[in-house]
Amino acid sequence: MSRFFNLWFLFLVFFFSHGLTVQAQSSVGISLHPATIEETMNLGQSKKFTITVNNLSDQDQSYYLYKRDIVGASDSGVPIFAEENIDRTEFGASLWVVFETVTIDIPAHGNTSFSFTITVPNDASTGTHFAGIFVSRQSQKLQQSGVAVGYDVANIISIRVAGEVEEKATIRHFSTDNYIYDTPEVTFNIKIENNGNTLLRPTGPLIINNMFGKQVGMVIFNSSLAGIFPGSTREFEVNWVKEDLGLGSYEAIISFSFGEDGYKQTISSSVTFLVLPMNIIIPVLSFLLMLLIVTYFIIKNYTDRELALHTAIIGNRRLVRSRHSGSWIALFSLAITFLIIIIFMVLLLVVFAKWL
């Protein structure tokens, strides 16, 4: 059996959902209510909890109960459970749990409840402690033998021990999936590390400003209040779509807060990206290039005709001076053309700025 095991992502993801009141359902015929238990308790305090198990199958079933510590979490936020008596951490709470029974029988499409007591030791460390309460079709002995075939569904327990806790977080990574975009449809990637000893639920605005400093968009980061396990990192993805046209450089600023009310902390970071709508830029540049080429040939044709006229009237000595004069005329005309192009591009940028 592997050192750590993950059980059915469908219900495990609920661990980091805030305020769950719905049932965590499994396609294999069990649902638990509540899906999570979050409680603040004092040192030495005991409290009784009850979980209801629904048998969604068409047959009577017997189920076994067991518990596990949570020893960490993946970058996507999926909890990692330890095997029994292995890899206990300071954040574990399975030893605090005492079942009133370890087996339950449920008729087809029926339900039953079981109770357990959580007692916080007097020497427990402050911060958040975690465990999973599992309902299984197989006993632990069969599971440990490696021949069990069945499924497990878990309720996640989060116990915050009252006292001074350390709430500390670091932004490990904040970027976009690309640097240049054709359209203002951007995906932001944020990786946050929890350096404290309690569960954090960071949330806050992600503001997008254009190159003129004007705010053009805002999305709420982690609006679902997904949590980050102590001592672990978690990756988040935020999408922003701007319905209007976009052009130029943009800056995204994320400012999220975390911690208990009255002790909120805020961390900020920023990233820049470009929006270059090539379906507009390429035709405009092509037009300007054609304008430049046409202007060049018009000036060249005009200069050649002037030189030919001077050659016929004045002669070879004056021709040299006329050629020099024609060159200066061509350069001056090209400079005027470039100036017109620059003014045109500035005006185009100003027009775009109304939609930026």
Q: What is the pLDDT of residue 327?
A: 56
- β-partners of residue 265 are 258
Q: Which letter, b or e, does each residue of 51-80 get, where b requires 16 or more Cβ atoms within 10 Å of its Cβ?
A: bebbbbeeeebebbbbbbbbbbbeeebbbb
Per-residue pLDDT at 23 exceeds 50:
no
Closest CA to 82 of 313, 280, 218, 73: 73
Identify the burial level of 36 via C-beta atoms within 10 angstroms of its C-beta, where 0-12 means exposed, 13-18 middle and 19 or more buried: buried
Contacts with 228 (C-beta within 8 Å, 6 or more apart), sequence order: 16, 73, 77, 169, 192, 193, 194, 199, 200, 201, 202, 234
Top-confidence residue, 61 or 317? 61
Q: What is the pLDDT of residue 22?
A: 34
| pLDDT tens per residue across span 281-320 | 677 677 777 777 777 777 777 666 766 666 665 555 544 4
Closest CA to 70 of 193, 154, 171, 172: 154
Q: Which of 36-40, 260-264, 322-326 has the highest mean pLDDT?
A: 36-40
Q: What is the pLDDT of residue 219?
A: 94
- Structural domains in the chain, sorted by start: 4-161 (2.60.40.10), 169-275 (2.60.40.10), 278-353 (no CATH)
Question: Which two three-digit tokens encode residue 302?
Answer: 């005009």
Question: Which two three-digit tokens encode residue 189?
Answer: 């990637």
- Rounded to the nearest 10 degrees, the angle between the axes of helix 316-353 and helix 278-313 is 160
Top-confidence residue, 28 or 76? 76
Local structure of 49: helix, strand or coil: strand
What CA–CA distance (Å, rounded) separates 309 from 330?
17
Q: What is the mean pLDDT of the chain?
A: 78
| pLDDT tens per residue across span 101-140 | 999 999 998 999 999 999 999 999 888 999 999 998 877 6
Per-residue pLDDT at 209 exceeds 90:
yes
| pLDDT tens per residue across span 331-342 | 666 677 677 777
Per-residue pLDDT at 351 exceeds 60:
no
Question: Which two three-digit tokens encode residue 167?
Answer: 């709430």
